């Protein structure tokens, strides 16, 4: 690993940075850009410099209610809008986002410390996914069923007001997934992360003139009060959440206490990559590093943070992993050469470093990283970290760290590998590396994970369902037709046909 303390990239873009931060950041409620009703704000901070970036509205309960009520008022009109017209408006929004791609990427980089190269990728994926959902719009169709001599048919109808709540690691990309419920005919209220709200609030500005008032509403808030009020609002019928397991469970409780609501959760992971003795060593090792998502400082629920290596190739694979780790460039997220940025804030940095200490105290060996790199000033860096001799039952092997910490474990048999991989609360992703096709499918099928790779890691694909099992989530998969359909309800119509004249 090399550490940079680069200021040149920031100095070169000073005027541009000042320009994107100079505007007021406001919520979107009922087609109006607005501050909190009582003027309350909170401040977002650049995790690289420690400097304040912007003041953001801190919504009050009345603001959340106003957003939900605006969505409810827009429901009938948006529902009756032809699906092709709804898709056309989303395509227009996707074009507008693409036109402002660099500005939105810059906001995410400043706000959460994601390297600018990654932030640009997020914007590109966001636009591609919006266009994918628009292209799937005419799949919101029913069916006919030959259940009897009558005509039995089904229709897909919008569910009603949708609440979308998401985390800081991909703010703009997650915000743009609102395309799915919007195309399905549902007005939405979205709540961006307090640690990274700026790109979503800017999205509200861009969308205001492209969507009817109340169809898209955005409320910001610091802490749990805003999302709790939102999921409890009686107008909200459908909730889509991405984030941690504890927060997901809290949302389930709040929703259940106030109504019968459809809740889907995409939560955390403690995901395993299994490398067998016949796998190509260098390719598997580099895939392990890529799958750990060091480029986002490990702040990704799908990271394969447990690397299980067959005992006979353990040392060889580990050496290649370390070699790849040493190529990571930690530095200013605005520098295009940076391949790992900051943690989102001091609390996340401290949590990751605390887990490293816990692991070493439990007997793990620190091979790389485990520190905040020197001479980085206020930046919330954690060096890319590799721990070996990790016990399968230790905390570092069981609990989601959400930081750049890779735990390496040994196994001797296929059965042992599967047991270790499955012996966690979570079940989001998993990966298998082997040249034995029978074993590859056997192990992939045995892994308790919703999304797996054979001889790969990390990649998502258009219209391929993504989501987990166990404590990693519940409900419809995302990034696919299934997600679009999940924002509809199915109505059955039975037409009793008289076969003979009266």
* Catalytic residue IDs: 266, 301
Provide the pairing of β-strand 405-411 with 306-310.
parallel
Count of CA atoms in the C-beta half-sphere (13 A) of 54: 26
Tokens found for residue 471: 């404590």
Q: Are 10 and 334 in contact (CB under 8 A)?
A: yes
Report angle CA 317, 318, 320 to the nearest 5 degrees. Answer: 65
178 backbone dihedrals φ, ψ, rounded to 5°: -60, -15
Tokens found for residue 41: 């704000």
Count of CA atoms in the C-beta half-sphere (13 A) of 42: 17
**Nearest to 161, CA basis, from 86, 220, 253, 230:** 230
Rounded Cα gap, residues 275 and 278, in angstroms: 8
SS3 string of 24-79? Answer: CCCEEECCEEECCCCCCEEEEECCCCCCEEEEEECCCHHHHHHHHHHHHHHHHHHH
- Kind and range of the H or E run holding 388: strand 385-388
Helix (H, G, I), strand (E, B) or coil at 117: helix
**Nearest to 409, CA basis, from 428, 389, 429:** 389
Q: Are 418 and 392 in contact (CB under 8 A)?
A: no
Angle between helices 101-112 and 83-99 (to 10 degrees): 70
Q: How far is CA 44 from the centre of its chain?
A: 20
**Nearest to 388, CA basis, from 276, 288, 282, 299:** 288
DSSP string spanning 334-370? TSTT-SB---SSHHHHHHHHHHHHHHHHTT-EEEE--
Helix (H, G, I), strand (E, B) or coil at 451: strand
Angle between helices 101-112 and 198-207 (to 10 degrees): 150
Rounded Cα gap, residues 210 and 221, in angstroms: 25
């Amino acid at each position: 690993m090399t550490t940079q303390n680069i200021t040149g990239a920031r100095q070169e873009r000073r005027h541009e940075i000042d320009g994107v931060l100079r505007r007021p950041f406001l919520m979107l409620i009922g087609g109006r850009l607005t501050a909190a009703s009582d003027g309350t704000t909170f401040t977002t901070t650049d995790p690289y410099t420690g400097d304040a970036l912007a003041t953001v509205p801190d919504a009050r309960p009345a603001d959340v209610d106003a957003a939900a009520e605006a969505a409810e008022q827009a429901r009938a009109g948006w529902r009756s809008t032809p699906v092709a017209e709804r898709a056309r408006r989303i395509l227009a929004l996707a074009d507008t986002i693409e036109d402002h791609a660099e500005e939105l990427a810059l906001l995410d980089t400043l706000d959460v410390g994601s390297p600018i190269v990654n932030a640009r990728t997020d914007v590109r994926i966001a636009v591609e996914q919006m266009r994918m959902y628009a292209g799937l719009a005419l799949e919101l169709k029913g069916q006919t069923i030959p259940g009897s001599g009558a005509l039995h048919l089904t229709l897909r109808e919008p569910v009603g007001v949708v609440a979308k709540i998401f985390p800081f690691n991909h703010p703009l990309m997650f915000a743009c997934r609102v395309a799915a419920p919007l195309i399905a005919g549902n007005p939405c209220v979205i709540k961006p992360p307090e640690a990274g709200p700026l790109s979503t609030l800017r999205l509200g500005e861009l969308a205001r003139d492209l969507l009817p008032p109340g169809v898209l509403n955005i409320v910001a808030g610091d802490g749990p009060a805003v999302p709790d009020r939102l999921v409890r609002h009686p107008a909200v019928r459908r909730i889509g959440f991405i984030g941690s397991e504890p927060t997901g469970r809290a949302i389930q409780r709040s929703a259940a206490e106030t109504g019968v609501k459809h809740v889907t959760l995409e939560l955390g992971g403690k995901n395993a990559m299994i490398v067998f003795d016949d796998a190509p060593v260098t390719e598997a090792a580099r895939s392990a590093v890529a799958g750990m998502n060091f480029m986002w400082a490990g702040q990704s629920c799908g990271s394969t943070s447990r690397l299980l290596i067959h005992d006979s190739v353990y040392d060889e694979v580990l050496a290649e992993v370390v070699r790849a780790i040493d190529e990571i460039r930690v530095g200013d997220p605005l520098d295009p050469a940076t391949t790992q940025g900051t943690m989102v804030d001091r609390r996340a940095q401290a949590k990751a470093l605390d887990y490293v200490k816990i692991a070493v105290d439990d007997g793990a060996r620190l091979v790389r990283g485990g520190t905040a790199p020197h001479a980085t000033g206020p930046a919330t860096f954690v060096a890319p970290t590799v721990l070996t001799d990790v016990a399968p039952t230790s905390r570092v092997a069981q609990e989601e760290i959400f930081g750049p910490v890779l735990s390496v474990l040994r196994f001797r048999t296929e059965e042992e590998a599967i047991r270790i991989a499955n012996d966690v609360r979570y079940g989001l992703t998993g990966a298998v590396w082997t040249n034995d096709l029978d074993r590859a499918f056997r192990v992939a099928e045995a892994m308790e994970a919703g999304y797996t790779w054979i001889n790969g890691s990390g990649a998502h694909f258009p219209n391929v369902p993504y989501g987990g099992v166990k404590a990693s989530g519940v409900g419809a998969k995302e990034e696919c037709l299934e997600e679009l359909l999940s924002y509809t309800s199915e109505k059955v119509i039975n037409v009793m046909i008289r076969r003979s004249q009266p």
